[in-house]
Amino acid sequence: MRGIINRFSVDLDFDLIDFAIIPELRVHLEKIFKKLDLKIEDQSKKVPQYFLKYTSTTGERNTLKLDITFPPPKSSEYEPVRFTEIDRIIHCQTIPTMFANKLVTVMERFEKFKSIAGRDIFDIHTFFMKGYRYKPEIIEERTGKGITEFLQILNDFIEKKVTQTVIDQDLNTLLPPEHFRKIRGILKREVLIFLKDEINRHEK
């Protein structure tokens, strides 16, 4: 997440613009997996989606999900970003694009997989805390709802469905212990405050 989110990431997400290159893309990806000694545990035949396994210490996470979205929302925006750790420039979603997609992910994950991820709540909390803005057009395009209606539905969903157990079970292995202890008890409450402020702002 471009260094914005201070947690371990459990997957890699990419947007694909050109549907026609999927066969070529699979070939390149699988060569990389082989070179890095990543074992393909499972994959989708319809889209480039892989579940990979790697060697790890007993009890530690040993799986990596690589997911490619196509077509991405038409209102998504991108910009070149330098990743100093690997000395490469990569075209990434802009911060408002990432934030909007994160807001949608909270309920979309539940609709598709009947699961709720505490990390989604942590991520949108981080975006709000850093004062970032989201792109409403992406939310409207992906959900078919106006921004105020969407935010109200999201607020109600988090209030009813996101429990302390959900937050603890998902985040306790993804954050440094001290950070987890500080954030776990205030996460949901502060996200709801942020969402209510946004609803009020859009209603004015």
Residue 1 has pLDDT above 80, yes or no: no
Residue 3 lies in a domain: no
Residue 59 lies in a domain: yes
What average pLDDT score do residues 110-123 get? Answer: 94
Q: Which residue has the tokens 């009813």?
A: 160
pLDDT of residue 57: 81
What average pLDDT score do residues 41-48 get? Answer: 89
User: In whole angstroms, what is the distance from residue 195 CA to residue 134 CA?
Assistant: 12
Do 91 and 57 lie in a common domain? no
Q: Which residue has the tokens 């371990």?
A: 8
Range of the domain at 34: 18-70
Residue 158 lies in a domain: yes
Do 138 and 65 lie in a common domain? no
pLDDT of residue 18: 87
Please count the structural domains in the chain.
2
Full-model pTM: 0.89
Select from 26, 48, 70 the last residue of a domain. 70
Do 63 and 80 lie in a common domain? no
pLDDT of residue 59: 74
What average pLDDT score do residues 120-138 get? Answer: 97
In 3D space, the residue among 48, 65, 55 whose CA is nearest the CA of residue 10 turns out to be 65
Do 55 and 80 lie in a common domain? no
Select from 70, 88, 107 the last residue of a domain. 70
Q: DSSP letter at 133?
A: -
Do 195 and 155 lie in a common domain? yes
- At position 36, the amino acid (one-letter code) is L
User: In whole angstroms, what is the distance from residue 68 CA to residue 15 CA?
Assistant: 6
Q: Which residue has the tokens 């001290």?
A: 178
Report strand pairing: 88-93 vs 78-83.
Answer: antiparallel
pLDDT of residue 71: 87
Residue count (the chain): 204
Indicate the pLDDT class of residue 46, thresholds 50, 70 and 90.
Answer: confident
What average pLDDT score do residues 113-123 get? Answer: 94
Residue 181 lies in a domain: yes
pLDDT of residue 45: 86
Do 105 and 175 lie in a common domain? yes
Share of the chain above pLDDT 70, in %: 100
What average pLDDT score do residues 83-105 get? Answer: 95
Which range among 28-42, 57-71, 93-107 shows the weakest confidence by mean pLDDT? Answer: 57-71
Do 99 and 119 lie in a common domain? yes
**CB-CB contact of 123 with 84 (8 Å):** no
Residue 9 lies in a domain: no
Do 111 and 43 lie in a common domain? no
Do 64 and 80 lie in a common domain? no
What average pLDDT score do residues 143-149 get? Answer: 97
**CB-CB contact of 103 with 154 (8 Å):** yes
Do 31 and 100 lie in a common domain? no
In 3D space, the residue among 69, 35, 65, 33 whose CA is nearest the CA of residue 50 turns out to be 65
Residue 6 lies in a domain: no
Residue 10 has pLDDT above 80, yes or no: no
User: In whole angstroms, what is the distance from residue 173 CA to residue 51 CA?
Assistant: 19
pLDDT of residue 79: 97
